[in-house]
Structure 1
């Protein structure tokens, strides 16, 4: 391990998780994933006690404050609802229908709900996720209803946005190295 001056390092206190509810947010970035037909929408809260909660996080932490918005044929109605809520939240803004980068800097209301899931380690976990977009004026007026938690603990599929870790198969007994010599794994403690 490289030498690190641990006296200058501040301890991590854990991550900040938004509670279920509605928040007025600003879209800070958008990434198109054309092969899978969805957008990663990166956001930050801009009003209330949680304003700027994600502002100090760098681009490596976008996964903590982004959600996927599909535009597949089967999800076109949901995508239309998404961009319509952006237009309603930003009077005078009309999306051109093709340039997702136009969403950057726009205000939107986001409704969050609790989700229970089974992590890759097999443990039951919970998180707060974006449920859907609403008009930011509806957040301010309290015109929204938070849905019951989504329980995905029995769902064996990979949670959207997460990848299963790759575990390489164990070497076969009598496996050969690239130069043709038999490999000896007797000193490897976890085999």
Structure 2
């Protein structure tokens, strides 16, 4: 059975192109969702992974619609492989775990995608550091007043009472009490 998984990150994006690609590929069942986030936060993805059985092939249009990191990708592919399920990208035709060449291409592209994510993160960090040097980036406003935490503790309040009163995590109270 061919099973499709379609995803867009925001509700204003459209699933139509992905759904049409799955129809053209002959998918028997399609799971779709409009959600951003980790694989654990995507209910339809979890249902799709639970649904597929030995001999099935899971189709996605592109890798970025399926996994957010090489680790996620490899973990999900290992789980699919363990169930005897193949994996194929419709728009990235070289990616097909039912062939040895497809598995090689998949590994390379997954690592390239992770490399690009790391580069974006480095550029963002460099931009923040440069903005801090210019005095244009101050970070977020402090949410916890350490003086108030210490005062409440010295008045005999327990760390749990202080945390509840201030709406903060108890670990923050312990960290600031020293």
Larger Rg: 2
TM-score between both structures, scaled by the size of structure 2: 0.26
TM-score between both structures, scaled by the size of structure 1: 0.24
Higher helix share: 2
Higher strand share: 1
